[in-house]
Chains A and B, each alone.
Chain A
Amino acid sequence: MMINNETAISLRDLSFRWSPAEPPVLQIPLLDIVRGERLFLYGPSGSGKTTLLNLLAGVIKPQGGELRLLGQALNRFSQRQRDAFRARHIGVIFQQFNLIPYLNVLDNVLLSAQFARLPLAESRQRAEHLLDALGLSITLLDQPARQLSVGQQQRVAVARALVTRPEILIADEPTSALDSDSRAAFMQVLLDTAAEINCTIVFVSHDRSLQPFFSRVLDIRELGNTSHVEASC
């Protein structure tokens, strides 16, 4: 698979609507995100943040325009190809409830490695290393995810998203369930572990106090209005 080293994500005249009768929820004439970039996207609810993340993750498909990830035209992929692409190249972190409650911590992390078809022993080693780097005790590995605190769960979610060494990490307000003290610490370990593998981050939030952690900040409403958005770095 040829991977374009410069542009991680590239959008051209992208439009998406849930049904043909409705107006498009998202229209983005142009957006380029360079590899290793840490993008902070903000906007009020209903501005299409989640829709954009679903598009980038390949869960839904745009009706018009071009969507390129790592040089691959995702808009021309079949559903199955997009699922496989997501498993291999994209990590996802939600606001909360990232883990399957009845699986233990290690199995939750290895879940994404399984779908990415990575060798198990190697992934296991990497999972343990990641959990350790994220400040989670080794004694937690065998515990069911439901017994963890919210903060611990979110850190396990980071390990789950990064265990496959994805090129792109998509995070949907992962700090919203955390209190302000642990928020900064969480952001720091998230960005540090992502930086280790030169992972491109698309981070969506309405909490603009997190802005300083990022290399580029965008208002999602401007994406639609502006005909041309320049990469800032």
Chain B
Amino acid sequence: MLIKLARLSLWNRRATASLTLASLIISVALVLGIDHLRVQAKKSFSQTLSGTDLIVGARSGQLNLLLYSVFRIGNATNNITWQSFQELSRHSAVEWTVPLSLGDSHRGYRVLGTTAAYFEHYRYGQQRPLVFAEGKPFAGVYDAVLGAEVARKLHYQLGDELVLAHGSGAVNLHHHDDKPFRVTGILQPTGTPVDRTVHISLAGIEAIHLDWQQGMPIPGQTVSADAALQQDLTPKNITAILVGLKSRAATFTVQRQVNQYPQEPLLAILPGVALTELWQMLSVVENVLYLISVMVLLAVLIGMMTSLLASMNERQREIAILRAVGAGAGYLFLLIELEVLLLIVLALVGGVLLLTGSLWIAQPVLAEQFGLFIDINPLQPQTFYLLGGILGLAALMGLIPAFSAYRRALSDGLAQRL
């Protein structure tokens, strides 16, 4: 009966109640959404690269190096010579090295020049290796391995040909259309920037730039694809190096040695430390967003309380009737509190649905534009604490109108002051 009364009473005031509900739903979706984005972004970030002990690049900033080598965002300010790479590979503490060469793209997706060691040593998440969905690593100069998203979005299959472009924009003026590449492998989705990368060999990178100088084709001098194969395709420069060490204990020694390398200015970073630092930088923004959404929620809850308090006047009649048939003041207190809970439970359900719907729509856009791979389901274990918190806060604020009903019930008696 209590529940029926609360439900029908809300329904009776459905015009104002639905407005309150709408604002509650939006704010619940907002709070949950920001929390969800935070958790997902953190996960996506921290799991992008694992198993690599050091990232080495030309001397710049730690974040800059991390962004271009791991996230394929931005560009390197300088390159590393091939000699430095070879010297580092021969270092006694180094177990493996993977060279990375960036700078070209294919229809908006970055092209990464590397070696077969990349597929062997790259790890993401909980030490998960890259797995081929189809095909195998590149063997020839003009072979390419596609990330899952590249293949899916551009509808490539094994054996298809693709033309790379110079530079990294979505629209390029210069295409390496004289030297097309052939797809030999497609990777399984990883939820990391690997999905949006076209992998080719270092020799391939070298081949397409044979007849280029300072970022432009040399006029009147072209080298055909076949002719290029006859030339020396050992790279002169690369962009960055992923380094795996024999022992983790040597990390700081090797890092110091790289940083003090006399032949050229290099920078070695620890991916874990850099990822954390990057995350902390973003967490200021994250906390501000969090604060704003909590404020919005608080404002909406106060709004709900106000509308309930205002409704007390028109409900005086109801209260007098319930008192007359024997309802105690405690019953009226519960009635109002139950109404608040009913409203907030509806808002929580609505908010979760709204958020799930929004994520469903926003997910492809976020992945494409920002490289954020977001789970559509916003209900993680910690979300339930948040939902519980909102419920508790609402119940707490509902105490005020509920207590007002209690007081009125006792002081007004059966009088119907209208």
Contacts and interface: CB of A to CB of B under 8 A. Distances in A.
A95 B416 CA distance: 9
Determine the main DSSP class of B at the interface with A. helix
A172 B413 CA distance: 13
B328 A101 contact: no
B12 A101 contact: yes
A94 B326 contact: no
Contacts of A102: 8-9, 11-12
B327 A100 contact: no
B295 to A, nearest CB: 35
B328 A54 contact: no
Contact of B414 (A50, A101, A160): A50
The 3 A-B pairs of least Cβ separation, nearest first, read: A87-B326, A115-B326, A102-B12
Contacts of A97: 317, 321, 416, 418
Given A97-B317, A101-B12, A54 B415 contact: yes
Q: Give the interface size bracket for A toward B.
A: 20 to 34
Contacts of B414: 50, 53-54, 57, 59, 92, 94, 172
Interface string B326-357: 11111000000000000000000000000000
A13 B140 CA distance: 112
A88 interface: yes
Contacts of A116: 326
Interface of A: 50, 53-54, 57, 59-60, 79-80, 83-84, 86-88, 92, 94-95, 97-103, 107, 111-112, 114-116, 160, 172
B258 to A, nearest CB: 76
A232 to B, nearest CB: 27
A9 B334 CA distance: 32
A83 B1 CA distance: 17
Interface residues of B, number: 26
Contacts of A112: 325-326
B325 A160 contact: yes
A87 B320 contact: no
A84 B325 CA distance: 9
14 contacts: A50-B414, A57-B324, A59-B323, A86-B324, A86-B325, A87-B327, A88-B326, A97-B317, A98-B321, A100-B318, A100-B321, A112-B326, A115-B325, A172-B414
Interface string B1-37: 1001100110110000000000000000000000000
A160 B9 CA distance: 19
B413 A59 contact: yes
Contact of B321 (A59, A99, A107): A99
B6 to A, nearest CB: 11
B399 to A, nearest CB: 19
Contacts of A50: 413-415
B329 A94 contact: no
Nearest to B415: A50
Most buried by B among A79, A84, A87, A111: A111
B325 A111 contact: yes
A77 to B, nearest CB: 12
Contacts of A83: 323, 326-329
